[in-house]
A and B are shown apart, each in its own frame.
Chain A
Amino acid sequence: MTQTDDKPAVQITSLNKWYGAFHVLKEVNLTIPSGSRFVICGPSGSGKSTLIRCLNGLEAYQQGTVTLGTIRLGDNARETALARRQTGMVFQSFNLFPHLTVLSNCTLALRRVPSMPRKEAESLARHFLEKVRIPEQADKYPAQLSGGQQQRVAIARALCMNPRLMLFDEPTSALDPEMVKEVLDVMTGLAHDGMTMICVTHEMGFAREVADQVVFMDQGSIVEQASPSAFFATPNHPRARSFLNTLLH
C-alpha cells in the first residue's frame, strides 16, 4: 500500500449541501490525517451521515471540495472511481447481499472490479473473515446470521478491497446491545492496525477509547472538534453539553 503520509487522508473544504431548500451541510471544513480515527457525533438530523456519505460519492454536494489523499472528488471520473474503491463503507443496516453467501458477498467486488481469479479472491475473503472472527460462517447466507455477525461480514467485505480509509455510518445502531461489543471489538482491532477511520456513532465508550478526535455536529455545521478527553471533560458548545448529558445518563 503506497501512502503519502504528508497528504491528509481526507480534506473537506467549505462543503455545502442542500436538499431542495433545506441546507443540510453548512460550510463544513475538516482535515483528517492519514492513520487517524475520527468519531463524528451529534443529534439526529445534524448532517453527520450525509457528511460521510459525501466522502465516497453516495451523496452529491453543491459547493466545496472533498479531497481523498491526492484525488479531488469529481475532477476526473476515473480518479474519482479509484478514490471510491479505496474507501470502504459500513452501513447501519449492513446491506449485505441477501442472495449471496457470506463468502460470495466478500468476493463479488474482487471478482468484478479487479477481476481477481476465484481461488485468490476466496482465500483473501477467508483471511478477512478470520480477522472479523467468523470464518466458520463463510458458506451461510446473511439471513442465517445474527445482526452482529452480519455487520462483521460487512466489515470484512469492505476490507477485502484493501481500503485506505474506512467509513462507518452508525454501525452499531441497528444491533441488539449484546452484539454491539463484538462489532466494536473488530473496529478497535482495525484502529490498532493503523486504519484511517471515520465513524459516525453514539458509542461514547468507543470514542473515548479509540478516537483521536471527536467532531460534534449540529444543524449541518461542525460546532466542536476536540480530543476525546477534552470533549468529554469540558465540552465548550452548549449544544454539545446537553447532548452529552442526555447520552451519558
Chain B
Amino acid sequence: MQFDVAFALSTVPTILGAIGMTLLVAAVSCVGASAIGFGLELIRRSGGLGGLFVRFLIDFIRATPVLVWLYCLYFILPFYGIRLGALATGMIGLSLYYSGYLAEVFKAGIDAIPNGQAEAARALGIGRMDITIFVIAPQMLRNIAAPMGNYFVSILKATPYLAVLAVPEMLGRAFDIASETYRYAEPLTVAGLIFLGLALLISHAIKRLEIRLLGPTAR
C-alpha cells in the first residue's frame, strides 16, 4: 500500500476540524497544571506536615504513567459518586499530572533567586503574599521560561491520550478515519505534521517571550 497524497490531503479538513479541541485541552491543562504546580510548590516550601505530604504527592505523580491517572479519574471516581465528563476528566487529569513536573520547575526557578530579594522585601515591610506575587513570581518566571515552555509543548503532545476517553481531539479523529478506511499512514501523518507545526509555534512564542522577559532587566 502506497502513501496516497491525495487521500492524505482529503483528511486534512476533518483532522484540522478537531484542532480547536486539542488547543482547548492543551491551553486549559497548561493553565491548570501551572496553577496547581505553583500552589504545590508554595505548600512544599512552607514545610511542616503539608509540605511533607506535597513532597510525597509530587514524587507519586511523577512516578506514575499519565494514562493510569486518566483511567483512574474516569473509571474509578464514579464508584465514589464523582461523575465527570470525558473532556473535564481529561483536562483535570493532564493538569494534575503535569502539575507535579511544573512544581519541580518552579522549585528550581525560586531556588535560583538570591535570598536577598525576599529579605529586602521583608525589610520594606511587604507582606508574605505580596512578596510571592510581586517579587518572587516574576523573577521565577524569568528564570524558567524555557523549561516551562518545554512542558507546555509536552502537554500539547499529551492531548492525544484523551483519545482513550473518546474526547474528539486530533489524533482521535485521525484514528476514526483510519478505522473507517483501513488506511493508517495518511491520517496519522497529517495529525503528526499538525502537532509538529503547533509545537514549533509554541517553542517560537516561548523564545520570543523569554527574550522580552529578560530584556533590559538581566542581572
Contact = CB atoms under 8 A, between A and B. Distances in A.
A108 interface: yes
B125 A91 contact: no
A58 B123 contact: yes
A95 B117 contact: yes
A220 interface: no
Among B124, B125, B216, which residue has the most Cβ atoms of chain A within 10 A?
A: B124
A153 to B, nearest CB: 11
B114 A84 contact: no
Interface in A87-142: 87-89, 91, 93, 95-99, 108-109, 112-113, 140-142
B120 interface: yes
Contact of A91 (B119, B127, B217): B119
A61 to B, nearest CB: 16
B126 interface: yes
Interface in B198-219: 216-219
B116 A91 contact: yes
Contacts of B142: 99
A10 to B, nearest CB: 15
A81 B122 CA distance: 10
A141 B216 contact: yes
A112 B130 contact: yes
B99 to A, nearest CB: 25
A141 B126 contact: no
Given A91-B116, A95-B116, A97-B135, A141 B125 contact: no
A8 interface: no
A192 to B, nearest CB: 24
Contact of A98 (B121, B122, B219): B219
Contacts of A87: 123
Contacts of A57: 122
A89 B118 CA distance: 13
Contacts, number: 71
A56 interface: yes
Contacts of B134: 108, 112
A112 B133 CA distance: 11
Given A58-B123, A158-B124, A144 B138 contact: no
Interface in B118-168: 119-127, 130, 134-135, 138-139, 142
B119 A58 contact: yes
Given A97-B117, A98-B217, A113 B126 contact: yes
A48 interface: no
A141 B218 CA distance: 9
B152 to A, nearest CB: 21
A95 B127 contact: no
Nearest to B129: A112
B130 A144 contact: no
Among B116, B139, B217, B219, which residue has the most Cβ atoms of chain A within 10 A?
A: B217
Contacts of A158: 123-124
| Those 10 A-B pairs whose CB atoms lie nearest each other, nearest first | A85-B125, A95-B120, A109-B124, A95-B116, A89-B123, A112-B130, A141-B217, A99-B138, A141-B216, A113-B125
16 contacts: A58-B119, A81-B125, A89-B123, A95-B117, A96-B120, A98-B218, A99-B139, A108-B126, A108-B135, A109-B121, A109-B125, A141-B217, A143-B217, A143-B218, A144-B216, A158-B124
Given A89-B120, A99-B142, A161-B124, 9 more contacts: A58-B123, A81-B125, A98-B217, A108-B124, A108-B134, A109-B126, A113-B125, A143-B217, A157-B124
